[in-house]
Amino acid sequence: MPPILERKSGGLTLRIDRNTCMANASCVKIAPEVFRVDEESICAFVEPATEIERERLVEACRICPVDALIVLDEQGNQIVP
């Protein structure tokens, strides 16, 4: 799997930096329909993609203790971390 995964969701761009992830799984607890811990014990996206409330998605990314989850808004501005 590539070191950076990217997905669009509700106008936001989500990125997972798999090299930084330490599989804390806080994101999975808040947004299990978007995030999972894979067989390498690293964060990955759930397939197929599902919609989620924007606020909960941003919170799931913001709570990452190592800032492995990055969120860009519709204009490409980084809003998390």
> In sequence order, which residues have a C-beta less than 8 Å from that of residue 27 and are 6 or more positions away?
34, 35, 43, 60, 61, 63, 64, 69
Which pLDDT score is estimated for 79? Answer: 98
Q: Which CATH architecture has domain 4-80?
A: 2-Layer Sandwich (3.30)
Q: Is the pLDDT of residue 15 over 90?
A: yes
Residue 1's pLDDT band, with cuts at 50, 70 and 90, is confident
Pinpoint the alpha helices (H) of the chain. Answer: 26-30, 54-62
pLDDT tens digits for range 31-68:
999 999 999 999 999 999 888 999 999 999 999 999 99
Q: Would you list the domain boundaries of the chain? A: 4-80
The mean pLDDT value for 4-24 works out to 96
